[in-house]
């Protein structure tokens, strides 16, 4: 019985010694250190990749800004060139119109030239009256301004109709000029009276 107890105690001591060795085994300590070292390497690699991606994004953003600046610059240049072309085309069109007018005037008889000169004077007078009344209306109360501007728009339409009719002067027979001029004279008088009445309401 005494020997059996001694044997049990010896076995228990052996187990405890083995457990102690298992906790502090050098191989396992080395494995833990290796795992931690690898983990540290992975973390470092991931940080480096993140830094590379962030730098690439910054570079891409900078390139995008430069490309946008270039695009805006090109658009401005295109607009400037388009404006220059438009101005040149307008100038050319006006020059052609002036040339056509001069050629037309040379073909008109003296009587037609007199009628044309008189009619253009009437048109200028109407234009001046329209401009003056519209400027005066701009300083009036909103309700009055709206009513007068509406009437001036209608008067402008009538003025344009008369100018269009004046373009037919070249094709009219000289014998009809007096009758035609008298009718236009009445139209211009009524138009000017209409504009004066609008002005009086201000």
Quick: pLDDT tens for 173-199: 777 888 999 999 999 999 999 999 999
Res 20 pLDDT > 50: no
pLDDT-wise least confident of 13-17, 88-92, 99-103, 196-200: 13-17
Confidence of residue 70 (pLDDT cuts 50, 70, 90): low
pLDDT of residue 68: 65
**Alpha carbon of 45 to those of 37, 49, 54: distances in Å?**
12, 6, 14
Q: Please tell me the predicted confidence (pLDDT) of residue 44.
A: 72
What pLDDT was estimated at residue 154?
A: 95
The pTM of the whole model exceeds 0.85:
no
Q: What is the pLDDT of residue 148?
A: 92
148, 198 in Cβ contact below 8 A?
Answer: yes
Pairwise CA distance, residues 28 & 26, whole Å: 6
According to the model, what pLDDT value does residue 177 have? 85
d(CA 101, CA 120): 13
In this prediction, residues 72-99 reach a mean pLDDT of 68
How many angstroms separate the CA atoms of 182 and 173, rounded?
Answer: 15
* DSSP for residue 122: H
- Is residue 152 a contact partner of residue 116, using CB atoms and an 8 Å limit? no
pLDDT score of 51: 66
137 CB-contact burial (10 Å; exposed 0-12 / middle 13-18 / buried 19+): buried
Which helix H or strand E contains 61, and what residues bound it? helix 26-107
């Amino acid at each position: 019985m005494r020997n059996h107890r001694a044997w049990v105690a010896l076995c228990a001591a052996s187990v405890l010694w083995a457990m102690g060795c298992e906790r502090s085994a050098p191989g396992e300590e080395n494995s833990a250190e290796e795992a931690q070292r690898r983990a540290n390497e992975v973390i470092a690699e991931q940080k480096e990749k993140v830094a590379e991606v962030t730098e690439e994004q910054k570079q891409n953003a900078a390139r995008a800004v430069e490309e946008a600046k270039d695009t805006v610059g090109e658009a401005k240049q295109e607009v400037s060139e388009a404006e220059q072309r438009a101005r040149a085309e307008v100038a050319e069109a006006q020059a052609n119109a002036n040339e056509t007018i001069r050629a037309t005037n040379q073909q008109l008889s003296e009587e037609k030239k007199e009628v044309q000169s008189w009619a253009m004077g009437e048109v200028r007078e109407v234009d001046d009256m329209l401009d003056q009344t519209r400027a005066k209306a701009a300083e009036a109360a909103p309700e009055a301004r709206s009513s007068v501007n509406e009437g001036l728009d209608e008067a402008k339409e009538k003025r344009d109709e008369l100018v269009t009719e004046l373009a037919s002067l070249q094709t009219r027979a000289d014998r009809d000029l007096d009758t035609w001029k008298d009718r236009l004279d009445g139209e211009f008088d009524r138009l000017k009276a209409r504009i004066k009445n609008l002005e009086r309401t201000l």
